[in-house]
Amino acid sequence: MNKSGDDDKNIIDEINNTADPIDDGFSQGIDLDNAKNPENKSKDSVMAQYIKEVKSIFAKDTTIENKDNKSNINETKKVKGEKPSISVSSLLSAKANKTKSNNKKQKAANAITSQISDEAGKAKIIYAKRTMRIWLISGIITLFIVQLAFSIINHLYFSPPSGDSQKIEFVVEKGSSISEVADLLYKEGYIKNTVVFKLYAQFTDTGYKLKSGRYELSKNMTMSEILDQITRGVSERRIINLTITEGKSIDDEAKQLTKNGLFESSKTFFELINNPSQYAEKFVFIKDLPNASERKHYLEGYLFPDTYEIYADSSEDTIIQKQLTRFRTIFSSEYEARAQALGLTMDQVVTLASIIEKEAKTADFKKVSAVFHNRLKKGMALQSCATVQYAKGITRLNLTDEDTNYNSPYNTYLNKGLPIGPICSPGKKAIEAALYPDDAYLKGVYLYFCVADPTTGATVFSKTYEEHLANVDKYRPLWQAYDEKNAQ
């Protein structure tokens, strides 16, 4: 037993003099300096092996005797007054306890770390979802703003000016630039902005591809559709010459256009000529004509008679606009100034010219005009047979008392002054006659005339009523014979 105690003592001394690589100086009384001394390297190596074996023995817990011996040794040291030493088993037990404590701490730390990691993971998921929602909402708002801005810009600059689908002739002259065409399109009401149109043409690389020609465009066409037409060129279409003779009324013209196969019916034609609002902006001279509601046809007298080159499939609107454009060209600023000098409006001049056109042949226009000017100055009724014929829709030359008493604002037998509007489409010579009456007949104060020969249109004039009655009696048989053959 004493030997065993001495052995234990030696072992403990060795342990006290050697640094435990596991405990790292945990036990009291262990001299760490020896472990650092280079001279003890071989000793350290031996002792390390020895300690390893001892730990293995005690780990198996196969003996209890050593524990008793160590206790006895310690007791002996206490009796001798020596400092008790730490046994190997105590050291190893402390080491095990510390390891166990460290393991518990490690497990606790691992648990906390795991919990923190879980919480962090949840936070990341919440953050990711929140970020995704923010991006989604921001994207929707951005898309809405972009669509709203696009809609506004499209409405202001790119959309058609109106929903009017009627085809109107538009001419691109040879050599026209994109700027010239854009200005004309804007003036005619086909586009909303010339700058945007030119930029669009440049962007689509079509600005230099313009082809001259006559095109049928409508105001509900987009810029893309317009550019497509005027850059593609005019397809081969049958061209015809349409001649509207002087003195024809709108009813006569409608019958002619329908008979020639240009229109299937005259319904659309009449609807257009009696709806001035769609033409008043472009042709200001027909805006706010007097007695509009009483007139038989609003545009009567303003569809200028001439020969027009048109496409065989031209619309009613195209033909009407051609005639209105021609009228504006004929009734020049010189004519307007002359009308003002006479104290007449354009509408009064056209009305007077239409009566002159129907009453005589071209050679007598200015003489007939002088008679009407003289009667107007004297406040006399014009007593034009042509106005009664228009009001009643007849062509008879020999009028009865019943005819001349027909109640109509066009009847110049019943109403003094000019009728409420033109009765036909006067030509240029009739308009000039209304503005420039024969000066000799003005000064001669001729107040009457009548047809001498219905077949030639020859006219006789007189200054007094008695002379006029004599002429009527003389030529009436000719009128009656003519009516039997031709009149309605």
Dihedrals phi, psi of 169, to nearest 5 degrees: -70, 135
Note whether 168-232 and 239-330 share their fold. Answer: yes
- What is the distance between the alpha carbons of residues 421 and 401, in angstroms, rounded to a whole number? 23
Domain ranges within the chain, ordered by starting residue = 1-158, 168-232, 239-330, 333-485
427-485: pLDDT as tens digits:
999 999 999 999 999 999 999 999 999 999 999 999 999 999 999 999 999 999 999 98
Residues in the chain: 488
CATH superfamily to which 168-232 belongs: Endolytic murein transglycosylase (3.30.1490.480)
155-181: pLDDT as tens digits:
677 788 888 877 788 889 888 999 999
The CA-atom distances, in angstroms, between 177 and each of 11, 207, 226, 238, 325 are 115, 8, 15, 27, 23
327-347: pLDDT as tens digits:
999 999 999 999 999 999 999
- What is the distance between the alpha carbons of residues 401 and 426, in angstroms, rounded to a whole number? 28
CA atoms within 13 Å, Cβ hemisphere of 274: 13
Quick one: what percent of the chain has pLDDT higher than 70? 78
- What is the distance between the alpha carbons of residues 243 and 307, in angstroms, rounded to a whole number? 4
Q: Which of 354, 356, 338, 258 is nearest to 299 (CA)?
A: 354
| Class of domain 239-330 (CATH, top level) | alpha beta
- What is the distance between the alpha carbons of residues 15 and 330, in angstroms, rounded to a whole number? 134
